[in-house]
Amino acid sequence: CHLIDYLRLSHHLIALNFLICTFDKMDFVSPQDIKITDTVFDGVEVRVYQPPAKQDEGLKRSVVYIHGGGWALARAKMGAYNNLCRIMAESLNAVVVSVEYRLVPEVCFPEQWNDALRATKHFLQPDVLAEYSVDPSRIAISGDSAGGNLAAAVCQQLSKDEHLTIRPKLQALIYPVLQAFDFSTPSYQQNMNIPILRRTVMIDYWIYYLNAHSDLAASLLMNNHTALDVGQAASFRERLNWTSLLPSSFQKNYKPVIQTTGKAEIVQQVPALLDVRAAPLLAEDETLQLQPKTYLLTCENDVLRDDGVMYARRLEKAGVEVTLDHFEDCFHGCMIFTSWPADFSAGLQTRNSYVKWLDENL
């Protein structure tokens, strides 16, 4: 990765990192009878949460969880995510596997995806599931923000792996980031300056994740990388045509920003911008048809709102059963804000709705 570029973090990213570190020091109140084990799945660190066995109980259901943080911040073991996974394990009486994938700047794409895929495939082995007393037919893969990105991309890969005998029953994506094709969707325009994820900050995350140079930020902001004369982008354009994928209530009065002439060299230098492993919303319909029943949580005050809504629509068109759970008064990242001094109603509301759906469908 370009370490020097990474160190030139905006003050917004520095503030986010400070916030995450603050959360990491908090002592969250959570269930005390959940067994927590730190182990390694195929070279990838994971934290496993196991509720106590009940008398005459059969196999448990399970959730593989991938945390957010722009592929660069947070940890599976930090207080907020540790709290979330413990509550999930207790509420669902499920085994929760939280993936501790490596972060920028230690590694860049596709290593985060590789880590999440390796850990998940290891867990899906029949002998490993048996070790944790997990029902192979009741497994979900889930994640928030950048973790939602990884969860969606891993789920797509698993669906195409002919050697797998066990695949997730569900995927549950929480305000996921799913594309770097269009940074002027209505939600990017509407929420460009809304904390905690401004549009320029999301572009920074993409640049660091894809190991690109920071001087590309202005061109990405203007969609120069997907201008009409950029041939590599042409085949993907309809898959992200928000004028047909978003309902009018989300489009509002915003207009598409499509440059006539741009910079084809950007996608030549950074081909991962159009790689479905990085941007699962770019996947072809044949891949989407293979996806499991899906939950998508989106927030109105979030630049990533339309990523989730477009993915929900494309999955529905491909024949997948989808629940789009949209929250008008909530913001990006709100689900981890559930404990003092940041115990927001938005966090509790979204978390409860997410856990309820898993409980009813897993």
Q: What is the DSSP string of 216-279?
A: GHHHHHTTGGG-TT-HHHHTTGGGG-HHHHS-HHHHTT------SS--HHHHHH-GGGG-TTT-
The residue from 145, 159, 184, 339 that is catalytic is 145
Domain that holds residue 19: 1-180+272-360
Instruction: Establish whether 145 is a catalytic residue.
Output: yes
pLDDT band per the 50, 70, 90 thresholds, residue 3: low
**Does some domain include residue 218?**
no
Assigned token pair, 292 = 């499991």
Residue 209: the pLDDT is 98
pLDDT tens figures, 135-183: 999 999 999 999 999 999 999 999 999 999 999 999 999 999 999 999 9
Q: Assess whether 332 carries a catalytic annotation.
A: yes
pLDDT score at 92 = 97
Decide if 226 is inside a domain.
Answer: no
What confidence score (pLDDT) does residue 162 get? 93
Of all residues in the chain, the percent with pLDDT exceeding 70 is 89
44-50 and 94-100: which strand pairing? Answer: antiparallel
pLDDT of 6 reads 53
Q: What is the CATH number of the domain that holds 58?
A: 3.40.50.1820
Is 24 considered catalytic here?
A: no
Per-residue confidence band for 23, with pLDDT thresholds at 50, 70 and 90: low
Split into its structural domains, the chain has a count of 1
**Does any domain span residue 205?**
no
Q: Of residues 115, 144, 302, 307, which has the active-site annotation?
A: 302
**225-227-229-232 Cα dihedral, nearest 10 degrees:** 50
Mean pLDDT of the 201-213 span: 96
What percent of the chain has pLDDT above 90? 83
Residue 334 has a pLDDT of 83
Q: Is residue 15's pLDDT more than 80?
A: no
Query: Is 98 among the domain residues?
Result: yes
Catalytic residue, from 5, 142, 144, 332: name it. Answer: 332
Of 66-80, 130-144, 279-293, 342-356, which gets the smallest average pLDDT?
342-356
Amino acid 105 reads P
Is residue 99 in some structural domain?
A: yes
pLDDT at 29: 46
Helix axes 111-123, 146-160, angle to 10 degrees: 60
Give a yes or no: residue 233 inside a domain: no
Residue 296 lies in a domain: yes
**Count of helix runs (H) and strand runs (E) in the chain:** 16, 8
27 pLDDT band (50/70/90 cuts)? very low
Reported as a single tens digit per residue, the pLDDT across 297-336 is: 999 999 999 999 999 999 999 999 999 999 999 888 888 8
For the chain, the distance separating the N- and C-terminal CA atoms, rounded to the nearest angstrom, is 38
The pTM of this model reads 0.93
3-state SS assignment for residue 334 = helix
In a domain, 125, yes or no: yes
215-226: average pLDDT: 97
* DSSP assignment string, 66-116: E--STTTS--TTSHHHHHHHHHHHHHHTEEEEEEE---TTT--TTHHHHHH
Residues contacting residue 174 through CB under 8 Å, at least 6 positions apart = 68, 142, 143, 144, 145, 147, 148, 297, 335, 350, 354
